[in-house]
Structure 1
Amino acid sequence: MVSFDHRDPGTGESVWEAAGVRERGASWEPGPEIRHLVVLAAHPDDETLGAAGLLARAEAQGIRTSVVVATAGEGSHPDSSVRTRAELAAARRLELVEATAHAAPSAAVHLLGLGDGQLREQRDELLSSVGSILAATRGPTVVCAPWRGDGHRDHRILGEVAAALVDDDPRLRLLEYPVWAWHWADPREDDPLPWDRVVALHLTAQETAAKQRALRSHRSQVEPLSDRPGDEPVLHARMLAHFERDVEIFVDGGTRTTARDGAPSLPAEFFDDFYSGRADPWGFETRWYEERKRALTLAALPRRRFASTLEVGCSTGVLTAELAGRSDRVLGIDIARAPLEVARRRLGPAVELGTFRTPHEWPTGRFDLVVLSEVGYYWGARDLELGIWRAVDSLTDDGVLVACHWRHPVPEYPTTGDEVHAALLTLSGLVTIARHEEEDFVLDVLVPPPGDSVARQEGLL
């Protein structure tokens, strides 16, 4: 643990500027797949110092935001003669709410109420509380926590807890923000930042201004409590200069990968070539294997009828036609144009069809049935995760996700059917209410928890 005193002048911002702090990190911003940003702070003001600009960016992009603060920061002025620890805690909680409103007015604020300076002793409570909040998030989530190398014990413990939770949940990506490292580290000597893993969010003028307003809200930290010794500001002007930048720096802690790395998704050209000159290359219309598999898929549907169905990878529309008999509206999408022309002749105007380079292109709207049939193994590891999250986000609150895939390995495919379904069960946050597995294919029916069976839905239990 680094030993430093916040009252020291520290490393000037001009030193970091000369070291190229604005240019060294790879540019990054939250992508369209991100559904939730959770900023963890050991004390009120950490979230503003490290990630107020990111909170503002996420808010503008419609990403759900949460701020989780472990302590009330009651130990910030141990020698104060004008404020008790309880008074400081009350003031800092109010400042936190005000500051968050400047950066991300819609953010949910969670105050865990643990002891300032005591996170190591309360690690179990911290792990449980933060874990419960992260478990309730849905879809791809960025977790932003203090950098474990920041030199403050509470920051290190919270960063370690965040890293452990991210490692257990592949929906999560960890970014760590330095706070006190800008004060005690010196890039001219032994710069501790792992610059090969640093990413930079370049802020707009509006985001920079919002961050400054949020910082000024932490009055107990940026202004003296009184003119007496012990009441000096914790964040003096020299320290605050680091946070007047128009860039926020994060150490990328990454995410756990569930599918095998390296193999990219199959491109659209692969399917264009595959369908060239062939109206039914898979034998959908002629093979008993395909007819039987469709019958099992339809029989596994937990409802007689659906309001709106999305079929991803609809190909020539053979399954699409049968889904149309169970749905008020069907949208079938595929990456290749040739099979969609066959599907249009088969289905007529009653069914909507569209070309989408999934998973990066995805239709808008929500559906109470999403079907992923023989499509997931075409996606590489990252795209498979993205495709699952896209599918889950397309579901209504009571929607049904059906997945069916060939289990035998195909050399050209980046993943296997078993890997697709393992990722679905791990990533989706859904529960399985029906599963059919045989040597050739696996079929899963997944719904949001608690996952009532058909008999239970109909009052038989």
Structure 2
Amino acid sequence: MVTFSHTDQGTAAAQWNAHGLGDLEQLDLSRVFTQGTKLVVLAAHPDDETLGAGGLIHQAVKMGLEVTVLVCTLGEASHPESATHSPAQLAAVREAELEQAMALLRAEAKASGAVHLRCLRLPDGHLPSHATEIGAALREITEDGPFVVASTYRSDGHPDHEVLGRLAAKICAELSLCHLEFPIWYWHWAAPGTEVRWRHWTQLALDEQTVQAKRRALAAHTSQTQPLSSLPGDEVLLDSQFLEHFHGPREIFRLTWPGDKDAAAASQVFDELYAQRPDPWNYKDSHYEQRKQEIMMASLPRRRYRSVLELGCSIGMQTAALAKRSGQLLAVDASAEALAHAGEQVTGMEHVSLRQATLPGQWPHCDPASMDLVVLSEIGYFLAADELAEVLQHCATVLEPGGELVLCHWLHPIEGWPLDGKAVHRMAGAWIWEAAVVHQEQDFLLEILRKPAGRHGS
């Protein structure tokens, strides 16, 4: 879990721009908002909706769309040491600011669209304990016609923001809705030179009218953008450097198209699959699967490995084979059902550990440069592009110089997921690593990449 404070120096907007934020793929709202579509913006606190999606709201209203802004708390915990405002007083102030900001965005659009505001008034800072209520409210809204859902980003670093991103992702996957996630605190704590996720997001270009309307709406959140008073505890929360991330001619969104799945769906999807069929890919009986595993094992450059990480171990057939050539082996899968079967394959192998984890968010703790082999087989296309980029970055970090990364993937279309095998290997191939093994057949591609000596990251 990321830890940060609003008082930290943070990353300046200029750094993000210098690393190519303006080069991201353009978000085409004519594709996002099909005929009859409405927009719901899910925010944790008053000002989140304006910071991350004020431009989107303004543009949607200009297009004549109905917009519902669902705010879960009134932000009463923003100044816990305030000498002048109690939490109840802060809640009242922030609700009034929210209403003013939304009125400004609606009025300045000068169009037929509408903005509906709904506040759940849940306790600020405790939204993870209220996921059921938030989910029910979001489902109730999205029942009324086709919707695009915009929410705070699921890995934003703030627990209230993250729970909304995960909830929205789950509901959008179930209802086949378009999901836009807007980062807020990510821009403050992340570093563009080492972070990789953002390079796979999209940018919404904002015209000058929208930029100015958003700035005026942000200024309406006075309790956050100005000090409450000159007394200790009333200091400004969102300073000018932080606001620079949101004053520019673009908004950045993580986009998931309707019907596409990502890591948020993995655990449920695969638990259901394994419950229906304990061996859904027929690993135990398929000649193709057995032969592919034998080719992979025969292709490993070393006879034995000290420490191995297997990502996506499924029912453990490959795990058992790797265990015979490993000093220590950690095997990870998103499905508890699959791991139960994997446990049967490695019974008595005390040097093997199994762990349930949904990647990349639950990446297992491993010391940097502690592994000499990482196996990423047949799971890369069950991640969105930014998730795969993050997983690959983690792989690079945990591998020792000279360590090896095994990639093996089916080359035919993968329905319901945004990537395919070729795309997975193409992303990994962007690294300047030595290709120790390349084996391609009509059905699958196997590559073993070796991390250069002296390299501690990607």
What TM-score do you get using the length of structure 2 for normalisation?
A: 0.54
Task: Kindly state the Cα deviation for residue 253 of structure 1 after the two structures are TM-superposed.
Answer: 2.3
CA distance in structure 2 between the partners assigned to 1:254 and 1:85 by the alignment: 39
Secondary structure of the residue aligned to 1:200 is strand
Q: Residues 49 and 30 of structure 1: is their aligned pair in 2 closer, same or farther, counting only changes over 3 Å?
A: farther
Question: Counterpart of 2:92 in 1: which secondary structure?
Answer: helix
**1:263-282 to 2 correspondences below 5 Å:** none
Offset at 1:125? 1.2
Q: Which residue is 2:70 aligned to?
A: 68
Tell me which of 90, 93, 110 is aligned to 2:92: 90
State whether structure 2 residue 197 is matched by structure 1 residue 193: yes
Structure 2 CA distance, aligned partners of 1:30 and 1:229? 48
Q: Percent identity?
A: 40
Q: Deviations over 1:62-117 (max 9, x none)?
A: 11111000111111001111100000001101100110111234200010111101
| 1:40 maps onto 2:48 in alignment | no
Residue of structure 2 equivalent to 1:175: 180
Deviation at 1:203?
0.4
**Runs ≥4 residues deviating over 3 A:** none
Which stretches in structure 2 are left out of the alignment for 5+ residues? 108-113, 262-458
In 1, Cα distance between equivalents of 2:86 and 2:25: 41
Q: Is the 8 A contact 2:40 2:67 kept in 1?
A: yes
Displacement of 1:195 in angstroms is 2.2
Instruction: Find the counterpart in structure 1 of residue 222 from structure 2.
Output: 219
Quote the residue 1:253 is aligned against.
256
- Structure 1 equivalent of residue 151 of structure 2: 145
The answer (yes or no) to whether the contact 1:55–1:65 under 8 Å persists in 2 is yes
Write the deviation string for residues 428-449 of structure 1: whole angstroms up to 9, x where unpaired.
xxxxxxxxxxxxxxxxxxxxxx
**CA distance in 1 between partners of 2:94 and 2:197 (Å):** 29
Alpha-carbon contact 2:139-2:171 (below 8 Å) kept: yes
Partner residue, 2:121: 113
User: SS at the partner of 2:29?
Assistant: coil
Q: Which residue of 1 aligns with 2:15?
A: 15
- Counterpart amino acid of residue 100 in structure 2: E
Q: What amino acid maps onto 2:230 in structure 1? A: D
Deviations 1:358-396 (A, max 9, x none): xxxxxxxxxxxxxxxxxxxxxxxxxxxxxxxxxxxxxxx
Q: Which amino acid aligns with 1:193?
A: R
Structure 2 residue aligned with 1:312: none
Q: Match for residue 236 of structure 1?
A: 239
- Who is 2:58 aligned against? 56
Tell me if the contact between 1:48 and 1:215 (Cα under 8 Å) persists in the aligned partners: yes
Say how many residue pairs are matched: 253
Give the 3-state SS of the residue equivalent to 1:104 in structure 2.
Answer: helix
The answer as to 2:159 corresponding to 1:159 is no
CA shift, 1:29, in A, is 2.0
Offset at residue 30 of structure 1 (A)? 4.0
Alignment of 1:375-394 (within 5 A): none
Query: CA offset at residue 128 of structure 1?
Result: 1.1
Deviations, residues 230-256 of structure 1 (Å, cap 9, x unaligned)? 111110011001111100000012222
What's the CA shift string for 1:277-333, capped at 9, x where partnerless? xxxxxxxxxxxxxxxxxxxxxxxxxxxxxxxxxxxxxxxxxxxxxxxxxxxxxxxxx
- Letter of the aligned partner of 2:182 in structure 1? Y
Cα distance in 1 for partners of 2:164, 2:27 equals: 25
Alpha-carbon distance between aligned partners in 2 of 1:219 and 1:91, rounded to the nearest angstrom: 9
Counterpart of 1:123, as a letter, is A
Instruction: Kindly provide the amino acid, as one letter, of the partner of residue 183 in structure 2.
Output: P
* SS of the residue 1:256 aligns to: coil
Q: Which amino acid aligns with 2:240?
A: A
Alignment of 1:366-405 (within 5 A): none
Looking at structure 1, the residues matched to 25 and 239 of structure 2 have their Cα atoms a distance apart, in angstroms, of: 26
2:28: which partner in 1? 28
| Secondary structure of the corresponding residue to residue 54 of structure 2 | helix
1:205 equivalenced with 2:211 (yes/no): no
Instruction: Show the counterpart of 1:134.
Output: 142
Distance 1:27 1:62 in 2: 18
Q: Contact 1:201 / 1:248 at 8 angstroms: preserved in 2?
A: yes
Q: Aligned partner of 2:122: which letter?
A: L
Note the C-alpha offset of 1:160.
0.8
Superimposed CA distance per residue, residues 214-242 of structure 1 (whole angstroms, 9 cap, x where no aligned partner):
00000000000011111111100110011
**8 Å Cα contact 1:36/1:65 also seen in 2:** yes
Per-residue CA distance 1:331-378 (angstroms, 9 max, x = gap):
xxxxxxxxxxxxxxxxxxxxxxxxxxxxxxxxxxxxxxxxxxxxxxxx
For 2:211 and 2:184, how far apart are their aligned partners in 1? 17
Q: CA deviation at 1:25?
A: 3.1
SS in 2 for 1:57: helix
Per the alignment, residue 131 of structure 2 pairs with 123
TM alignment of 1:309-324, pairs within 5 A: none
Matched, 1:81 2:86: no
- CA gap 1:156/1:257 in 2 versus in 1, 3 angstroms: closer
Report the 3-state secondary structure (helix = DSSP H, G, I; strand = E; otherwise coil) of the residue aligned with 2:39: strand
Equivalence for 1:4 = 4
Larger Rg: 1
TM-score (norm. length: structure 1): 0.53
CA RMSD, 1 decimal: 1.5
Gaps of 5+ in 1: 259-461
How far 1:194 moved relative to its partner? Answer: 4.1
Asked if 2 retains the 8 angstrom alpha-carbon contact of 1:167 and 1:256, the reply is: yes
CA contact 1:148–1:159 (8 Å) conserved in 2? yes
Q: CA deviation at 1:192?
A: 4.8
Q: Which residue of 1 aligns with 2:371?
A: none
Q: Contact 1:25–1:195 (CA<8 Å) still a contact in 2?
A: no
2:9 aligned partner, one-letter code: P
Is residue 49–residue 215 contact of structure 1 (8 Å, CA) maintained in 2? yes
User: 2: distance between equivalents of 1:28 and 1:3?
Assistant: 34
Name the CA distance, whole Å, in 1 between partners of 2:178 and 2:242: 28
- 1-side partners of 2:15 and 2:23: how far apart? 14
Alpha-carbon contact 1:28-1:200 (below 8 Å) kept: no
Q: Distance in 1 between matches of 2:49 and 2:178?
A: 17
Note if contact 1:148-1:160 (Cα within 8 Å) is conserved in structure 2.
yes
The question of whether the paired residues in 1 share the 8 Å contact of 2:25 and 2:203 is answered with yes
CA distance in 1, matches of 2:15, 2:237: 21
Deviation, 1:257, is: 6.1
